[in-house]
């Protein structure tokens, strides 16, 4: 039953998950979505079941990359807020 794309994308999902962690966090979102779709296809009987481990690993790496990306975005927003509050306080103290 290898007529589905669930297993043919297993390597791509794993690579995107790794790149999401190491290089470009938004690729983790892509790995997470593609991993969900591939697992759904594998559960329906399409694709090679032996590639399930790579799909799950890529999906988990995608989830981790997405969470780290979200934490980084929140941290950047907090940093900018604190920076501009400190800047406003410093300019108010000069007057």
Q: How far apart are CA 78 and CA 85, in angstroms?
A: 11
By C-alpha distance, which of 8, 19, 15, 25 is closest to 70? 25
6-24 average pLDDT score: 89
Q: Give me the pLDDT at residue 1, please.
A: 42
Confidence of residue 8 (pLDDT cuts 50, 70, 90): confident
All structural domains of the chain with their residue ranges: 10-69
pLDDT score of 6 more than 60: no
pLDDT at position 79:
97
Tokens of 36: 């969900």
Provide the pLDDT for residue 93: 66
Which burial class, exposed, middle or buried, applies to 61 when counting CB atoms under 10 A from its CB (0-12, 13-18, 19+)? buried
* pLDDT (0 to 100) of residue 88: 86
Q: For Cα atoms 53, 67, 82, give the angle at the middle one, nearest 5 degrees.
A: 165
pLDDT, one tens digit per residue, over 20-68 is 999 988 999 999 999 999 999 999 998 889 999 999 999 999 999 999 9
- How far apart, in whole angstroms, are the C-alpha atoms of residue 62 and residue 45? 23
39 CB-side CA count, 13 A: 16
């Amino acid at each position: 039953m290898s007529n589905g794309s669930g297993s043919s994308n297993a390597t791509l999902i794993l690579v995107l998950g790794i790149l999401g962690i190491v290089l470009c966090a938004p690729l983790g979102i892509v790995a997470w979505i593609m991993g969900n779709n591939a697992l759904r296809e594998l559960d329906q009987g399409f694709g090679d079941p032996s590639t399930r481990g790579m799909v799950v690993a890529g999906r988990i790496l995608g989830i981790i990359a997405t969470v780290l990306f979200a934490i980084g975005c929140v941290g950047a927003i907090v940093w900018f807020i604190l920076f501009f509050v400190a800047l406003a306080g410093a300019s108010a103290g000069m007057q």
